[in-house]
Amino acid sequence: MKKRIELEDTGMTFETAYDLEAMSRLARSWLEQIGEDPAREGLADTPGRVARAWAFLTRGYQQSLEEVINGAVFEAEGSEMVVVKGIEFYSMCEHHLLPFFGQVHIGYIPDGKILGLSKFARLVDMYARRLQLQERLATQIAGALMQVLEPRGVGVVVEGAHLCMMMRGVEKQHSTTVTSAMRGVFKEDLKTREEFLALLRSQP
Ligand X SMILES: Nc1nc2c(ncn2[C@@H]2O[C@H](COP(=O)(O)OP(=O)(O)OP(=O)(O)O)[C@@H](O)[C@H]2O)c(=O)[nH]1
Residue with the shortest CB distance to Zn ion? 164
Query: Residue 95 interacts with Zn ion (CB under 5 A)?
Result: yes
Binding status of residue 93 toward ligand X by CB under 6 A: yes
The answer to whether the annotation marks 93 as part of a ligand binding site is yes
Segment 5-14 long-range contacts (CB within 8 Å, at least 24 positions apart): 5/52, 5/55, 7/52, 7/53, 7/56, 14/55, 14/56, 14/59
CB of 98 to Zn ion, least distance (A): 5
Binding to Zn ion, residues 160-199 (CB under 5 A): 164
Q: Does 6 bind ligand X (CB under 6 A)?
A: no
When computed from its CA atoms, the radius of gyration of the chain, rounded to whole angstroms, is 20
**Which residues, at least 6 apart from 55, have a Cβ–Cβ distance to it below 8 Å?**
5, 14, 16, 18, 20, 23
**Strand 131-132 with 82-93, pairing:** parallel
Question: Given the complex with ligand X, which of 88 and 150 has the nearer CB atom?
Answer: 88
Tell me whether residue 96 is annotated as binding: yes
Minimum CB separation from ligand X for residue 160, in Å? 7
Binding residues for Zn(2+): 93, 96, 164
Q: Name the residues that contact Zn ion, by CB under 5 A.
A: 93, 95-96, 164
